[in-house]
Amino acid sequence: MADVSSPGLDGLHPVGQRPPLGAYLVEAWRRRQFASTFAAHRLIGSLLENRLGILWLVMRPLSMALIYGTMFSFILSSSARPDGYAQFIIIGICLFEFFTQSLLGGAKSITNNGKLVQSLGFPRILLPTSIVIEETLRMIPVVGLIFVILLAFGEPLAWSWLLIFPLLAVMAVFNFGCALIAARLSVHARDVQLIIPIMNRVLLYATGIFFDVDGALADHPVILGFVQMIPTYGFIGIARDVLLQSYTAPPIAWILAPVWAVVTLLFGVVFFWRAEARYGLGE
């Protein structure tokens, strides 16, 4: 009789067993098609449920930009409201949504697929992977929306706009690391799924989605320096830098963004893998 714990059965392993990290990642890569297919089916299914379909992908950030932009344009002082305010806001909202939806989806990726996780022995890392793939696919029409708005408001077309694509790739890596961390924490305590929206609300303002943090905190260099260390500040700042002529991100943003992505990914993979044996045994 074959030993079910051996790697000979198509790489499967018993539920509740944690394989070595190297073998785990190899197996996850071999089954990567599962993650991409799962992501595509989830995305298509969510679009088919709504009459407007793919339009909802762009209507959500557009409506948020319209509501918050109108409100904050009356509240903010001129020092905190930069030139090209409409473009400034839409870029910030779209990229921030990319992060928040990846993080919240990652937190629910294991707990919302309990029967699948407890029934089959496969690398659980594929579930948060599928979430980030799905959110990355959702960004494709959103980037088109950003380009249309920039042109509509007179922003000159530039080669630097193409840098948004490698930036989103690096940000997807960062989002993936965060999704892995949130996924494991959520398995240990469902309360994490309630804390994440609160944390995202804090980041929404700390990152400067609706106002220019650098101008608002110009007289508080210590606080400004701390804010510039926030990962979402760096990614959104770089996006505004490459898309807007009127905005220049601080050099530290260009340095820290890839560092945050690599560090978060490495920590997230190891952190998630170390609890692999628990995911198939319930909470």
Residue 217's identity, in one-letter code, is L
Evaluate if residue 96 carries a pLDDT over 90: yes
Given pLDDT bands bounded at 50, 70 and 90, which one contains residue 71? confident
Q: Return the number of other C-beta atoms located less than 10 Å from residue 70's C-beta.
A: 10
Evaluate if residue 263 carries a pLDDT over 90: yes
Which residue in 198, 182, 158, 202 sits closest to 264, CA to CA? Answer: 182
* pTM over cut 0.75: yes
Evaluate if residue 67 carries a pLDDT over 60: yes
Mean pLDDT calculated for residue range 156-174: 95
Mean pLDDT calculated for residue range 109-114: 85
- pLDDT for 272 equals 94
Distance of CA 273 to CAs 66, 108, 131, 266, 267, Å?
Answer: 41, 17, 17, 11, 10
Alpha carbons 163 and 156: distance in angstroms, whole number = 15
Q: Return the number of other C-beta atoms located less than 10 Å from residue 68's C-beta.
A: 16
Given pLDDT bands bounded at 50, 70 and 90, which one contains residue 1? very low
